[in-house]
């Protein structure tokens, strides 16, 4: 993978391809110790997933269609929450599969009428992603076909083996985030191949077909996984992030 792209998200983009987004949320809330999936937990009074959906609905991004992928047994819950919170943001709701890979594939299938364009795949429980980060991935994918947000590790990193551990040069490492954005035909071709245990995100699915351009992410673009994450997200939203 390449180093960060230096593209300016504000620079003009002639003949901008159509933009789509697939938001994937399949969590059960086990690590949260919660009584509901983490995407439905309340963050400053609204479901986490609603915050995420709202980020991709910003008019300045120009996303033509958003597909929201949830486990089949959570579809009714989301519909009820949409009614409760008066959600009017247009989106297509799709039942996911047994794995994240299968869920992304289901989300892509929902966009079958669009042979061209760019599709951003984003974790539904990353509700603080900024417009700048989303824009950077779309802009980089328009040039490089595949792009993903990432950040430098803050801590020292060691590689563990049966012989002990060894320090790693963290300047050469990146922590992957979403969105990860691709030419839609490229992502379809990648997901037409069999699922492998080595797939940890969409970038790893695409790696054999195309180099993935990394763009600068944001440490505030955290993934809600533990109770501590929810507290941090509350604080960041309260500070206007």
Secondary structure (3-state) at 152: coil
> Quick one: pLDDT at residue 4?
59
The closest alpha carbon to 22, from 205, 216, 174, 220, belongs to 205
Q: Are 144 and 93 in contact (CB under 8 A)?
A: no
pLDDT score of 11 more than 60? no
Q: Are 177 and 241 in contact (CB under 8 A)?
A: no
> Quick one: pLDDT at residue 10?
57
Segment 122-143 shows an average pLDDT of: 98
Residue 197, Cβ neighbours under 10 Å: how many?
Answer: 5
pLDDT score of 6 more than 60? no
What are the E-state strand segments in the chain? Answer: 19-24, 42-43, 46-47, 63-70, 92-95, 118-123, 146-151, 157-161, 164-168, 175-183, 213-216
Could you tell me which residues come within 8 angstroms of residue 2 by beta carbon, excluding any fewer than 6 positions away? 144, 211, 212, 213, 214
> Quick one: pLDDT at residue 30?
63
Tokens of 34: 């919660």
Could you tell me which residues come within 8 angstroms of residue 129 by beta carbon, excluding any fewer than 6 positions away? 52, 55, 122, 149, 177, 178, 179, 218, 221
Query: Could you tell me the pTM of the whole model?
Result: 0.91
Secondary structure (3-state) at 229: helix
Q: Are 87 and 50 in contact (CB under 8 A)?
A: yes
Q: What's the helix, strand, coil split of the chain in %, to 5?
A: 35, 25, 45
Segment 200-225 shows an average pLDDT of: 97
């Amino acid at each position: 993978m390449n180093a960060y792209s230096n593209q300016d998200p504000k620079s003009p983009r002639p003949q901008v391809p159509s933009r789509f987004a697939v938001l994937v949320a399949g969590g059960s809330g086990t690590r949260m110790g919660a009584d509901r999936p983490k995407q439905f937990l309340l963050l400053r009074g609204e479901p986490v997933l609603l915050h995420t959906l709202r980020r991709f609905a910003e008019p300045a991004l120009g996303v033509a269609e958003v597909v929201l992928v949830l486990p089949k047994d959570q579809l009714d819950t989301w519909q009820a929450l949409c009614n409760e919170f008066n959600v009017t943001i247009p989106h297509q709701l799709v039942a996911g599969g047994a794995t994240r890979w299968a869920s992304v594939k289901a989300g892509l299938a929902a966009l079958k009428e669009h042979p061209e364009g760019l599709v951003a795949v984003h974790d539904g429980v990353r509700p603080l992603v900024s417009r700048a980060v989303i824009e950077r991935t779309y802009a980089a994918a328009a040039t490089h076909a595949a792009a993903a947000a990432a950040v430098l590790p803050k801590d020292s990193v060691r590689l563990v083996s049966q012989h002990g551990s060894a320090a790693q040069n963290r300047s050469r490492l990146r922590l992957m985030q979403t969105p990860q954005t691709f030419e839609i035909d490229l992502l379809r071709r990648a997901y037409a191949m069999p699922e492998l245990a080595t797939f940890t995100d969409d970038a790893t699915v695409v790696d054999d077909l195309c180099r993935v351009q990394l763009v600068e992410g944001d440490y505030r673009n955290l993934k809600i996984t533990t109770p501590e994450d929810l507290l941090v997200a509350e604080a960041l939203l309260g500070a206007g992030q």
